[in-house]
Amino acid sequence: MPISARVWTAGKLLLLVGALATTFVVFAILAARVAVRARDVTVPDLVGRPVGEATALAASLELHLNVEGQRRPDLKVPSGHVLGQEPPPGSQARRQRSIRVWLSSGPRIARAPALVGESQRAAEIRLVQEGLVGGSVAEIRSDLYPPDVVVAQDPAPGAETAEVRLLVNRGEDRAAYVMPDLIGVSGDRAADILRGQGFRVSITAQAEATGLPAGIVTRQVPAGGYQVHPGDAISIEVSR
């Protein structure tokens, strides 16, 4: 057989072997991806289910249930039912992974503590310590009470309940303005207008500004577009 024919035959064999090897690698990668995806399952929604039913549902998907030891009071979810879970329903998880759940202790009836005068944060912590549920929080704006302080509660202290609703003061409702852009205007004129609206204005320094007449605003703090309230400090710098 001529040498050229032998080379051509060897080349075809190498190409065939290379094609087979490439095909094998591609199919191996695809098979690995399919196998990995086959191990993934969609996390079911366990909230509201009894713990036994939730355990069985998780086991049917080869998932384990990890139940938190401390139960939490809730007005709507009965005692012994799942109150929350992690990871959330609908997410993807590998088989044999654990789902962490915490259970409801149901509504706990206790005497409402006296919360008026406490901060909202302190009142919420107190309710948790008493095993009660913090209900809706209504708000008022008044200068008669400190900000973020409970000014009323429902029910009154000492009443037997499972939930306590709060009324919280958010402080005096001050007028809000958008800081104007003062660059290029007269500093004295801008200061007079802002002071007339209740702002504390100071001209902090004078800067060299080529081509500008004296007294023109070249810098301001806060910048234009920021929200400001009467009583806030505003600093402007003018040319000389």
Together in a domain, 16 and 28: yes
Together in a domain, 14 and 48: no
User: Is the model's pLDDT at 100 over the cut of 50?
Assistant: yes
Amino acid 69: pLDDT = 86
3-state secondary structure of 137: strand
Amino acid 16: pLDDT = 60
- Is 140 within 8 Å of 169 (Cβ atoms)? yes
Q: For residue range 10-65, what is the model confidence (pLDDT) as tens digits?
A: 556 666 656 666 766 555 555 545 444 457 899 999 999 999 999 999 999 999 99
What are the E-state strand segments in 122-186? 133-140, 149-154, 160-161, 163-169, 177-178
Chain centroid, CA 46 distance in Å = 23
Work out the average pLDDT over 138-150: 89
Domain count, the chain: 4
Together in a domain, 145 and 120: yes
d(CA 199, CA 231): 5
Amino acid 230: pLDDT = 85
Together in a domain, 29 and 65: no
CATH number of the domain that residue 182 is part of: 3.30.10.20
Amino acid 6: pLDDT = 54
